[in-house]
Amino acid sequence: MRSFEALRHVFRKYDIRGIYPDEINEGFAYRLAIAFGKILEDMGANTVVVGGDVRTHTPPIKDSFIRGLMHMGLQVIDIGTVPTPIMYFASKTLNVHAGVQITASHNPPEFNGFKIVLGGEPFYGDDIERLYEIFSSPHLSPKYPYPHGKIAPHDAVHDYVSWVRKNVSITKSFRVGVDAGNGTAGPVVEAIYPKKGIEYEGLYMEPDGTFPNHIPDPTVPEYMKDLSALVVRKGLDLGFGFDGDADRIGLVDSRGKMVFADKILALLARPVLREIPGAPVILDVKCSKGVVEYLERLGAKVVMWKTGHSLIKAKMKELNAPIAGEMSGHIFFKYRFFGHDDAIYASLRFLEMLSQEERSLEELLAEIPSYISTPEIRVPVSNDEVKFRIVQELVEKFKAMGLPVIDIDGARIEFPDGFALVRASNTQSVLVMRFEAKTPERLEELKDLIYSQLRKYPEVRLDEVAH
């Protein structure tokens, strides 16, 4: 294993993620389990649910992680190869203290990592910092020299399918396209959709950790092309795309047109707001102005918050919000669910919503005010240390210019006819930008507003971005 300092960067804000076997490997997993076991021991906790994704190296990493937990005397429930949301589901329904998923989500095949929940809450930020401190201690050692805990397999997919069958009601028939991206979603969709009377055409349903067809990221238009073509060719009502561990959703309409996640959230909020009028709905700072206007028209109290699934979950709990979402495709349900992000469940709730409406998906989408927007523009920064300082300086500059700045997560400058956003990525050495306006000319003006400031920083590599 590499030096602890060389591994510091894999302990990220929301999870642990790195390249196999150079960074994340069996030795790393065993040591991480010992460190996590120390945290559980300090809390008087002793039960852990462990699942994993479809990557080729997940089984040996998972086995080593479980061995480490056993050497700490912990009780392990092994739920096998499952979507991350089923690990969340199991950690809430099996009366355990913690849950761990071996996954690198939508990252390329050479990556792997760990997503953790503790006491039913996201494990992130300071929690991961503390885990790294214990992991990197030269005095770290297992409690027992041999496996002292217990391990039991459990079919969490069966539990999940049974629960969803009882708790989602789809009253119309739909013909749906599905692109599982060779991730964990395929077998679960195959188990649930027929039981809910959903006719579907599947693409890349077979789990394959080499991701031979495309990277499973349904927010990237390139990776949704096959699904769009399938929906149009077969005359389907709509299509769902899932990321590698099935916690993020993508959507295409009957014309094969991609629908961004903020609009998915806006439509999912319709029945929720009928049941809970005036409820808070949480969005991240990248969401469309049109979606904000639409939700406010439905009576929602729209709350814009920081990007990051753990941060959104914490805000949901604070405000007791029934639903939330991010542009990255995470949709969170507190109302009638457990508060976490789950793309398969989101797809079912979406069909349930459509089955309650007289109008088509396209007619519902047409009600959301339309803006011209860019996708995420990611600008490399040569020095990772300066990205947050640059954004903070921009916030101060824009405020000094008298511009209306939302600064909860970077600088989102609001105008009556659009917005400009620049924020520092929490996971990469990049600045993330997004722009939205009513006309192409205005869109260019808003881009120039940000670009003109960024050109003053030699660390920002604007020349590497297609304008």
Q: Are 38 and 24 in contact (CB under 8 A)?
A: no
Taking CA atoms, 376 is separated from 34, 214, 422, 425, in Å, by 39, 20, 10, 11
Q: Which residues form the catalytic set? A: 17, 105, 330
H helix or E strand, kind and range, residue 252: strand 249-252
CA dist 353 and 278 (Å) reads 18
CATH superfamily of 372-464: Alpha-D-phosphohexomutase, C-terminal domain (3.30.310.50)
What is the radius of gyration, based on Cα positions, of the chain? 22
Nearest by Cα to 274 from 168, 357, 361, 364: 357
Strand partners, 175: 199
Sequence-ordered list of residues with C-beta below 8 angstroms from that of 397, at least 6 positions apart, any chain: 453
- Residue 383 is predicted with a pLDDT of 81
Quote the DSSP letter at residue 429: S
Q: What are phi and psi of 215, to 5 degrees?
A: -60, 130
CA dist 42 and 46 (Å) reads 10
CA dist 276 and 116 (Å) reads 31
Domain 168-365 belongs in CATH node 3.30.230.10: no
Q: Are 254 and 238 in contact (CB under 8 A)?
A: yes
Say whether 372-464 and 5-154 share the same fold. no
Sequence-ordered list of residues with C-beta below 8 angstroms from that of 444, at least 6 positions apart, any chain: none
Name the residue ranges covered by the structural domains of the chain. Answer: 5-154, 168-365, 372-464
Q: What tens-digit pLDDT sequence spans the chain (467 residues)? A: 778 999 999 999 899 999 999 999 999 999 999 999 999 999 999 999 999 999 999 999 999 999 999 999 999 999 999 999 999 999 999 999 999 999 999 889 999 999 999 999 999 999 999 999 999 999 999 999 999 999 999 999 999 999 999 999 999 999 999 999 999 999 999 999 999 999 999 999 999 999 999 999 999 999 999 999 999 999 999 999 999 999 999 999 999 999 999 999 999 999 999 999 999 999 999 999 999 999 999 999 999 999 998 999 999 999 999 999 999 999 999 999 999 999 999 999 999 999 999 999 999 999 999 999 998 899 999 888 899 999 999 999 999 999 999 999 999 999 999 999 999 998 788 999 999 999 999 999 999 999 999 999 999 999 888 65
In this structure, what token pair is assigned to residue 317? 């709990």
What is the four-CA torsion angle of 272, 275, 280, 286, rounded to 10 degrees?
20
Quote the DSSP letter at residue 410: S
Nearest by Cα to 183 from 266, 264, 121, 240: 240
In this structure, what token pair is assigned to residue 166? 């009882």
- CATH architecture of the domain covering 5-154: 3-Layer(aba) Sandwich (3.40)
Task: Outline where 72-118 has alpha helix (H).
Answer: 84-93
